[in-house]
């Protein structure tokens, strides 16, 4: 079963007088439970593709389906809700909320959902912090943690809602290779254990080994799988 | 939502310096606002409760004789007081206010002063007595001295007045003044106390016991001067009270019923006064042909009907007298008249009436107020439907209720056209008689409004700029939260909450600042001898009167302003496309 189905996806950006064709007709299907690496040089359109899949940017033409649900025609309120319940995000720059502690950052999406009790939320957040190996840092603010620790919290945050898909845009780009490898290992473990679909992008060939499927992109087009 | 609140509050603390700056500005603005409000309230309090009470009361009842406002006299005092008590529902006090311009001769110095009656005996409320004693703090002597019998006309005067007259305790001064009858009088008074007035208004009066002053000025036992009525909540009650009083003061027809006597003969007769303004005379001539063919206004002229004249053998030029029972009881009193003309018999009026011109009429009428005649005894009393009624004298003239000081003064100026010697009774409220003071209060409210506008401006500029900076710095955070699945309106609310709480805390701090400031400012002793501003001081101190209601109303107002101001930048933040906010080429 395909969790993601993309047909004829294009994305244009107006840049002053000219138009940048960031995506130029992507057809892509991703099976549920896959661990996909989007691979390509800087500027090829990886971030754009992940953003459109994640519903935080809109497609110019084409169709994007998440679990059978067409994204391109959905109003903002429902796309936001879909992100809250079915997607998780991991960013290159970690993007934790600075005024919240590690635990609170992990709890954040569940608090937004308002579907669980306080104690359930706390228990789930602490379990995930334990899984990424950061239990002892649960009261620390992001500024008190290293890059690798922050990214592990970001993974916990992305997984806390049990999403169908986790989208990670160059999650290791700001980390040294050893730390980056550990992050990808965690993702690998979670993918195997929970059957969560992972999509991560990278321009670094050394991390390809962690992926089950690799999609090569060049100049906004798929250049082979 | 808990998480939004938590994030908002922590962010307020995170951007300490900027928020402290804006918070301080709002706090100072709020402090100014509370202080301005308390100050204007304080001045209102001074104006209304400490000055107005002595210069006009909330409602006053004035009795102007012959158009002279300084000459206030009404000769049926008990009836008037009774009528006021019955008409005005709630009264704090009714005080007789008698002020007489005088020249005071001190020790080789003279000065003008107003002799003012002080009514300590009828002031039984200890709180108001204490209030009075605070307004006139005695440096020497005592209030009880005013009642001393061993001193000749004991008086209290201000320290400044004492200085200008070069006089000291127990000195005897001479005063010259006109009494209520317009006679020049001189009297000796004894300095029985020297006070320091709470404000500049109180420098000129020289206080005497009211009974003493009335005696000196020629007031009879049932005579009263102007009355000042103090009532609770004058803003609401003064005008309705004055209006009700105005209705109750509609003057009845004036007449005297008794025996007309001439050369040992006597017949019952009703004396009616007729008005002598040109309109009334014209009206009377139309009603009663031949009424005044060659009438000239003489001091005690009367016109007598033919039947009555015949029965007494009266002719033009004869002097006759009317003997009637006075209202005060006791023996009959006699008024003497000269017959100007015997009127031909007419069906239009009854035989036993003598027609007395306005001036002659009021002269005897007020001297010995007649007991009200009864028509059962044969008195002729035309009712208000009678065509004669509009041209006849009433017990007094009732001035129109005026709405402004100008209107009141214009009406007073028009009074001489009536050519009447009747007392003109007016019921102005302080809003007409003391409109200058009221206007000052409006001006003070404007100051408060100015403070609100300043605060409004601070909030506008401060909140908008702070929020813009904050949003710019936290754009990536906004993008992250949106990506995590936070709805737009939650993002907006998060920033609104920040501005709201910053304003709320600042307002509280501002209120505390204001109270500290007022406490400090009211500690300062201000010396402003002779400066007009010192009328706004209470015993040389600024007087603040913070109003809980006022402060309680400003808070939501300011919070609302802050929220409205914060709305637009917050909404802009909420509407940022998430990918842009995340910095993807943003
Ligand atoms: N907001 C934007 N405005 C204009 N051009 C953009 C914008 N976002 C991306 N692009 C362009 O689209 C292309 C793809 O960018 P991106 O998806 O960020 O590539 P990658 O993530 O693979 O480095 C690039 O040429 C980039 O310059
Ligand atoms: Mg990129």
Tens of pLDDT, residues B213-235: 999 999 988 899 999 898 888 88
- Looking up tokens 């059962």, which residue turns up? B376
Provide, rounded to the nearest whole percent, the portion of chain B with pLDDT above 90.
35
Radius of gyration of chain A, Cα coordinates, nearest whole angstrom = 17
Atom of ligand 1 nearest to the CA of A49: 17
What radius of gyration do chain B's Cα atoms show?
36
DSSP, residue by residue, A11-57: EEEEETTEEEEEEEEEEEEEETT-EEEEE--TTSSHHHHHHHHTTSS
pLDDT digits (tens, 9 = 90+) for A55-110: 999 999 999 999 999 999 999 999 999 999 999 999 999 999 999 999 999 999 99
Is A77 touching B (CB cutoff 8 A)? Answer: yes
- Contact indicator for B59, B503 with CB cutoff of 8 Å: no
For ligand 1, say whether the CB of A44 is within 6 Å of any of its atoms: yes
Which tens digits make up the pLDDT trace of B140-184?
998 888 888 899 999 999 888 899 899 999 999 999 998 888 889
Query: Residue A99: which of B11, B583, B584 has the nearest Cβ?
Result: B11
- Confidence at residue B586, expressed as pLDDT on a 0 to 100 scale: 43
For the four alpha carbons of A172, A176, A177 and A179, in that order, the dihedral sign comes to negative
Ligand 1 pocket, residue A20 CB under 6 Å:
yes
pLDDT of B1 strictly over 70: no
Say how far apart CA B379 and CA B399 lie, in whole Å.
28
Distance CA A65, CA A8 (A): 12
Spatial distance between the Cα atoms of B545 and B538, rounded to a whole number of angstroms: 12
Taking only the tens place, the pLDDT of each residue in B562-576 is 899 899 999 999 999
- B234-239 contacts: CB < 8 A, separation 24 or more? B234/B48, B234/B58, B234/B429, B234/B430, B237/B58, B237/B90, B238/B58, B238/B59, B238/B429, B238/B430, B238/B431, B239/B429, B239/B431
Closest Cα to atom 24 of ligand 1 = A43
pLDDT band at B529 (very low <50, low <70, confident <90, very high): low
- Tokens linked to B72: 């206030």
Structure tokens at A146: 């290293």
What does the pLDDT read at residue B295?
55
pLDDT digits (tens, 9 = 90+) for B24-75: 988 988 888 888 888 888 877 777 666 666 677 889 999 988 777 777 889 9
Any B CB within 8 A of A116 CB:
no
d(CA B361, CA A27): 118
Question: What gap in Å lies between CA B278 and CA B272, rounded to an integer?
Answer: 18
**Model-level ipTM above the cut of 0.85:** yes
- Range ranked top by mean pLDDT from A160-164, B272-276, B446-450: A160-164
Set of chain A residues whose Cβ sits within 8 Å of the Cβ of B2: 111
Q: Is the pLDDT of residue B489 over 90?
A: yes
Query: Mind telling me how many Å the CA of A209 is from chain B's nearest CA?
Result: 27
Binned at pLDDT 50, 70 and 90, residue B273 comes out as very high
pLDDT-based confidence at residue B528 (cuts at 50, 70, 90): low
Q: Is B395 exposed, middle or buried (0-12, 13-18, 19+ CB in 10 A)?
A: buried
Is the model's pLDDT at A124 over the cut of 80?
Answer: yes
**What does each C-alpha distance from B406 to A162, A219, B241, B367, B432 come to in angstroms?**
82, 88, 21, 33, 8
**Is the per-residue pLDDT at B205 higher than 60?**
yes
Q: For tokens 């001539």, what's the residue?
A: B285
pLDDT of residue B292: 65
Burial class (CB in 10 A: 0-12, 13-18, 19+), B149: exposed
pLDDT tens digits for range B388-433: 888 999 999 999 998 887 888 888 888 888 888 899 999 999 888 7
Supply the pLDDT for residue B120: 77
- pLDDT band with cut points at 50, 70 and 90 for residue B533: low
Residue B536 clears pLDDT 70, i.e. is over it: no
Is some CB atom of chain B closer than 8 A to the CB atom of A14? no
What pLDDT, on a 0 to 100 scale, did the predictor assign at position B412? 82
Lowest mean pLDDT among B152-166, B289-303, B309-323: B289-303
Taking only the tens place, the pLDDT of each residue in A192-216 is 988 899 999 999 888 899 999 999 9
Q: What residue in B sits closest to A94 (Cα-Cα)?
A: B480
Q: What is the pLDDT of residue B289?
A: 64
Q: Which CATH class is domain A34-56+85-222?
A: alpha beta
CA distance B78 to B64: 18
Q: Give me the residue spans of the domains in chain A.
A: 34-56+85-222
Are B452 and B33 in contact by the 8 Å Cβ rule? The answer is yes
Cα–Cα separations (whole angstroms), residue B239 to A57, B62, B234, B432, B434:
69, 16, 8, 10, 13
Residues of chain B that touch chain A, judged by Cβ-Cβ distance less than 8 Å:
1-3, 6-7, 10-11, 14, 476-477, 479-488, 490, 577-579, 582-585
The pLDDT tens digits of the residues spanning B443-486 come to 877 877 887 788 788 878 888 888 889 999 999 999 999 999 99
Six-digit token string for B254: 């004036």
CA of A45 to the centre of ligand 1 (A): 6
What is the C-alpha to C-alpha distance for residues A116 and A108, in angstroms, rounded to an integer?
12
Distance of CA B506 to the CA centre of its chain: 40
Average pLDDT in the B62-90 region? 87
d(CA B262, CA B278): 32
Q: Indicate which residue's Cα is closest to atom 25 of ligand 1.
A: A43
pLDDT of residue A66: 95
Q: Residue B534 has what pLDDT?
A: 60
CB of A36 closer than 8 Å to CB of A30 = yes
Residue B82 pLDDT more than 70?
yes
Asked if B9 contacts B495 with a C-beta cutoff of 8 angstroms, the reply is: no
Q: Which of A45, A58, A91 to mutate to test the pocket of ligand 1 (most atoms within 8 A of CB)?
A: A45
- Per the rule left: phi > 0, alpha: psi between -120 and 50, beta: everything else, B450 is alpha
pLDDT digits (tens, 9 = 90+) for B538-565: 777 788 888 887 788 888 888 888 899 8
Q: Tell me the CA distances in angstroms from B451 to B26, B37, B448, B469, B547, one per residue in order.
A: 12, 9, 5, 27, 16
Three-state SS for A187?
helix
Looking at B383-536, list the stretches that DSSP marks H as alpha helix, in order from N- to C-terminal side: 405-414, 430-433, 435-473, 475-484, 488-521
B268-B273-B276-B278 Cα dihedral, nearest 10 degrees: -90
What is residue B486's predicted lDDT score, i.e. its pLDDT? 96
CA dist., res. A213 & res. A224, Å (int): 11
Mean residue pLDDT of chain B comes to 85
Residue of A58, A83, A109, A112 to mutate when probing chain B, most B C-beta within 10 A? A112
Task: Calculate mean pLDDT across residues B70-91.
Answer: 89
| Residues from chain A contacting residue B579 (CB–CB below 8 Å) | 51, 56-57
The residue with greater pLDDT, B89 or B514, is: B514
CA distances from B202 to B52, B171, B211, B381, B469 (A): 12, 21, 21, 49, 58
Residue from A13, A15, A16 whose mutation best tests the ligand 1 pocket (most atoms within 8 A of CB): A13
Helix (H, G, I), strand (E, B) or coil at A92: coil
Taking CB atoms and an 8 Å limit, are A95 and B577 in contact across chains? no
Is the torsion defined by CA of B426, B427, B432, B437 positive or negative? positive
pLDDT on residue B293: 47
Q: 3-state class of B352 per DSSP?
A: coil
């Amino acid at each position: 079963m395909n969790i993601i189905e993309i047909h004829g996806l294009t994305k244009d950006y107006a840049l002053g007088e000219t138009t940048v064709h960031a995506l130029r007709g992507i057809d892509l299907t991703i099976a549920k439970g896959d661990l996909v690496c989007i691979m390509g040089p800087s500027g090829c359109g990886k971030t754009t593709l992940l953003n459109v899949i994640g519903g935080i940017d809109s497609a110019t033409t084409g169709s994007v389906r998440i679990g059978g649900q067409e994204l391109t025609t959905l109003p903002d309120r429902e796309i936001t809700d879909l992100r809250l319940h079915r997607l998780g995000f991991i960013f290159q720059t970690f993007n934790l909320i600075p005024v919240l502690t590690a635990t609170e950052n992990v709890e954040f999406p569940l608090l937004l959902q308002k579907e669980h009790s306080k104690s359930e939320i706390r228990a789930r957040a602490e379990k995930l912090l334990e899984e990424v190996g950061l239990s002892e840092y649960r009261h620390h603010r992001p500024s008190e943690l290293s890059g690798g620790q922050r990214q592990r919290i970001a993974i916990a945050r992305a997984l806390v809602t049990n999403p169908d898909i986790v989208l990670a845009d160059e999650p290791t780009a700001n980390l040294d290779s050893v730390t980056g490898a550990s992050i990808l290992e965690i993702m690998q473990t979670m993918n195997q254990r929970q059957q969560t679909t992972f999509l991560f992008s990278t321009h670094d060939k050394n991390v390809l080994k962690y992926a089950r499927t690799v999609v090569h992109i060049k100049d906004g087009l798929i250049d082979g799988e | 939502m808990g998480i939004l609140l938590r994030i908002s509050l922590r962010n307020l603390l995170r951007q300490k310096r900027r928020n402290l700056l804006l918070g301080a500005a709002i706090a100072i603005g709020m402090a100014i606002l509370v202080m301005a409000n308390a100050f204007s309230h304080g001045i209102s309090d001074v104006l209304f409760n400490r000055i107005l009470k002595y210069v006009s009361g909330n409602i006053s009842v004035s009795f102007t004789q012959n158009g002279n406002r300084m000459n206030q006299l009404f000769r049926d005092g008990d009836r008037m007081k009774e009528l006021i008590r019955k008409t005005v529902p709630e009264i704090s006090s009714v005080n007789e206010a008698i002020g007489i311009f005088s020249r005071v001769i001190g020790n080789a110095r003279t000065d003008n002063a107003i002799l003012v009656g002080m009514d300590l005996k009828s002031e039984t409320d200890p709180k108001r007595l204490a209030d009075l004693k605070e307004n006139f703090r005695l440096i020497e002597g005592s209030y009880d001295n005013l009642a001393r019998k061993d001193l000749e006309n004991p008086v209290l005067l201000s320290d400044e007045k004492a200085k200008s007259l070069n006089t000291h305790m127990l000195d005897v001064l001479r005063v010259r003044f006109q009494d209520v009858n317009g006679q020049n009088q001189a009297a000796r008074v004894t300095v029985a106390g020297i006070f320091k007035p709470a404000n500049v208004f109180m420098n000129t009066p020289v206080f005497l016991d009211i009974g003493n002053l009335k005696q000196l000025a020629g007031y009879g036992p049932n005579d009263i001067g102007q009355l000042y009525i103090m009532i609770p909540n004058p803003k609401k009650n003064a005008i309705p009270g004055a209006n009700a009083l105005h209705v109750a003061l509609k003057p009845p027809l004036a007449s005297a019923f008794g025996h007309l006597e001439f050369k040992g003969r006597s017949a019952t007769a009703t004396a009616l006064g007729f008005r002598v303004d040109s309109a009334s005379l014209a009206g009377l001539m139309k009603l009663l042909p031949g009424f005044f063919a060659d009438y000239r206004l003489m001091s005690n002229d009367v016109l007598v009907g033919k039947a009555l004249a015949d029965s007494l053998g009266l002719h033009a030029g004869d002097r006759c007298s009317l003997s009637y029972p006075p209202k005060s009881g006791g023996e009959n009193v006699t008024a003497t008249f000269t017959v100007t003309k015997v009127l031909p018999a007419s069906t239009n009026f009854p035989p036993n009436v003598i027609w007395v011109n306005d001036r002659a009429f009021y002269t005897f009428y007020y001297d010995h107020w007649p007991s009200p005649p009864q028509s059962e005894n044969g008195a002729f009393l035309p009712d208000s439907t009678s065509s004669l009624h509009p041209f006849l004298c009433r017990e007094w003239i009732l001035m129109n209720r005026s709405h402004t000081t100008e209107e009141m003064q214009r009406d007073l100026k028009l009074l001489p056209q009536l050519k009447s010697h009747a007392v003109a009774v007016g019921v102005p409220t302080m809003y007409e008689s003391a409109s200058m003071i009221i206007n000052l209060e409006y001006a003070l409210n404007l100051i408060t409004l100015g403070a609100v506008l300043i605060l409004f401006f601070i909030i506008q500029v401060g909140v908008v700029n702070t929020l813009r900076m904050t949003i710019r710095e936290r754009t990536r955070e906004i993008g992250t939260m949106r990506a995590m699945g936070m709805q737009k309106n939650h993002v907006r609310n998060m920033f609104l909450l920040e501005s709201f709480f910053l304003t709320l805390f600042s307002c509280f701090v501002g209120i505390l600042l204001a109270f500290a400031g007022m406490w400090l400012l009211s500690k300062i002793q201000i010396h402003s001898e002779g400066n007009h501003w010192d009328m706004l001081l209470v015993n040389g101190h600024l007087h603040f009167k913070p109003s809980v209601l006022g402060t309680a109303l400003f808070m939501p107002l300011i919070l609302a302003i802050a929220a409205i101001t914060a709305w637009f930048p917050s909404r802009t933040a909420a509407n940022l496309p998430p990918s842009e906010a995340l910095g993807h080429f943003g």
